[in-house]
Chain A
C-alpha cells in the first residue's frame, strides 16, 4: 500500500542537505549544523520507515471521530 517512489534513499539524503540549508536560511542553525543534518536524516529515514510500517498496524487514514477539523484538504 505504501510503496516508496524510486530514488527514495537519494531523495532522503538530498532532503537532509536541504534541511541544513533551509535551517540556515531560517536562522535556526549556525554552528553544530552537522549534528542537525545527521539528526534530520535519521528523522527522515525513521519517518519513511514508520510510514511503511504503519499500514500493517494502524491505518494511515481512518474514520473521523466527530472532532473539529484542524485542516482541510481541498483541490488547489
Chain B
C-alpha cells in the first residue's frame, strides 16, 4: 500500500485510482467537495479522451490515421500539445513529446497495470527522437509527420491538475489542492498546504509547506518500472537516445507557479543528470541513487528527524 493510500480522506477530501496512480482533491470548504469531484471527473475524462496513448478512440490516436496532413483538433488537445511543445522549447529538447514510438518499443504500450512487468528481451535501438520541431501547431490546426507519435503522458497529467485546480477555484470559490500522483496543483489564496514529499515507504521523505497558488511535481526513475530480458526499464526517456535515462537521481521534486512548469523542470532534471541542480533556479529536491538528498533554489533543509 502506498503512502498516498494512507493519507486521511475526510469531509474536505476525496481520492480514487486513475491512470495507474491516484487522484486526490482537498478543498477548504467541505460543501464544495461534491462539485469539485464532478469537475475533476469531467476534466480527467476529457483529457483522457483527448490524448491517451492507450485508447484507440482517443483524439490523439485517431490523428495517426492522417499523418502529414493538417487537421483541425479540439481546443483541449491543442492546449495540451501547446504545453508539450512549450516544455520542449523551454528545456532545449530535454523534454520532448515525440518519444511516443520509442516508449511503445520499450514495452510501455498500454496502461501500466496491463504491462508484463518481466517480459522477453527487446531489440535495443538507440537514436534520437524525431524532434518536437517537426510538430506544427497553428491555433487548432495540427500536423504530425508520418512516423511520429506523441507521448503527452507527463504533461497531460500536470496540465489536468492545473486545469482542475483553476476550474474548481473559479466555479466553487474555494481554495483547492488537486493531486494526480506526484503532480500537485493548488488554487486560491489561503494558508499553505502541507505536502509529503516521498516516493515510497522506504524512500527519504520530508513534509513541506506549499504556498497557496503554487504547484509541485515529482519525477522518478524508480516508479513505472518493468523488465525486458532482465533489463530494468522505466518511463523517463532521454530524447537523444530514446532510452531510459541513467538513474543518477531516484526522484526530483520541483515547486513552480504551475504544475506543467514544475513537471517540465522535474522531468528535465532527470534527463540532465548530474548537471541538473546547477541548471535549476526553482525550489527543488534531488534524491540521488545512493539515497542522499540535495536541495536547491530555496527548498527547505531536510529535517533529519523526518
B46 in contact with A25 (CB, 8 Å): yes
Residue in A closest to B283 when the chains form the complex, CB atoms: A61
B224 at the interface (CB under 8 A from A): yes
Partner of A60, one of B26, B210, B222: B210
When distances are taken between beta carbons in the complex, the residues of chain A under 8 Å from B166 are 15, 19, 40, 43-44, 47
B265 to chain A, nearest CB (A): 10
B194 in contact with A6 (CB, 8 Å): no
Partner of B207, one of A18, A22, A47, A64: A64
Say which one of B116-124, B126-134, B182-190 lies at the interface with A.
B182-190
A60 in contact with B214 (CB, 8 Å): yes
A61 in contact with B163 (CB, 8 Å): no
Which secondary structure dominates where chain B touches chain A? mixed
B147 to chain A, nearest CB (A): 27
Residue in B closest to A43 when the chains form the complex, CB atoms: B170
B306 in contact with A73 (CB, 8 Å): no
Report B259-279 CB contacts with A as 1/0, cut-off 8 Å.
011001000000000000000
B151 at the interface (CB under 8 A from A): no
B213 in contact with A51 (CB, 8 Å): yes
B89 at the interface (CB under 8 A from A): yes
Q: What is the CA–CA distance of A64 and B303 in the complex, to the nearest angstrom?
A: 9
A61 in contact with B89 (CB, 8 Å): no
State which residues 269-306 of B face A: CB under 8 Å. 281-283, 297-301, 303, 306
Partner of A62, one of B26, B189, B192, B257: B192
B196 at the interface (CB under 8 A from A): yes
B229 to chain A, nearest CB (A): 24
Given known A-B contacts A29-B171, A76-B182, A22 and B163 have beta carbons under 8 A apart: yes
A46 to chain B, nearest CB (A): 9
B7 at the interface (CB under 8 A from A): yes
A69 in contact with B217 (CB, 8 Å): no
Say which one of B63-71, B79-87, B96-104, B237-245 lies at the interface with A.
B79-87
Partner of B195, one of A2, A4, A58, A72: A72
Residue in A closest to B140 when the chains form the complex, CB atoms: A14
Report A47-62 CB contacts with B as 1/0, cut-off 8 Å.
1101110110011111
Q: What is the CA–CA distance of A60 and B171 in the complex, to the nearest angstrom?
A: 25
| Listed residue (A4, A5, A10) with the most chain B CB atoms within 10 angstroms of its CB | A5
Given known A-B contacts A72-B7, A73-B184, A74-B218, A48 and B211 have beta carbons under 8 A apart: no
Name A residues whose Cβ lies closer than 8 Å to a Cβ of B.
1-7, 10-11, 14-15, 17-19, 21-23, 25-29, 36, 39-40, 43-44, 47-48, 50-52, 54-55, 58-76
Known pairs A11-B83, A61-B283, A63-B301; list 12 more (Cβ under 8 Å): A14-B78, A39-B170, A61-B208, A63-B209, A66-B207, A71-B177, A71-B194, A71-B195, A72-B3, A72-B198, A76-B20, A76-B157
- Lowest 9 CB-CB distances: which A-B pairs, in order? A75-B220, A76-B181, A51-B257, A64-B207, A69-B196, A63-B300, A26-B42, A61-B255, A76-B21
Name B residues whose Cβ lies closer than 8 Å to a Cβ of A.
2-4, 7-8, 13, 20-21, 24, 26, 35, 38-39, 41-43, 46, 75-76, 78-79, 82-83, 86-87, 89-90, 157, 163, 166-167, 169-171, 177, 179-184, 187, 189, 192-200, 206-211, 213-214, 216-224, 251, 253, 255-258, 260-261, 264, 281-283, 297-301, 303, 306
Q: Can you list 12 A-B contacts (CB < 8 A)?
A: A1-B283, A22-B39, A27-B38, A58-B211, A60-B282, A64-B209, A65-B194, A69-B7, A69-B195, A71-B193, A71-B194, A72-B196
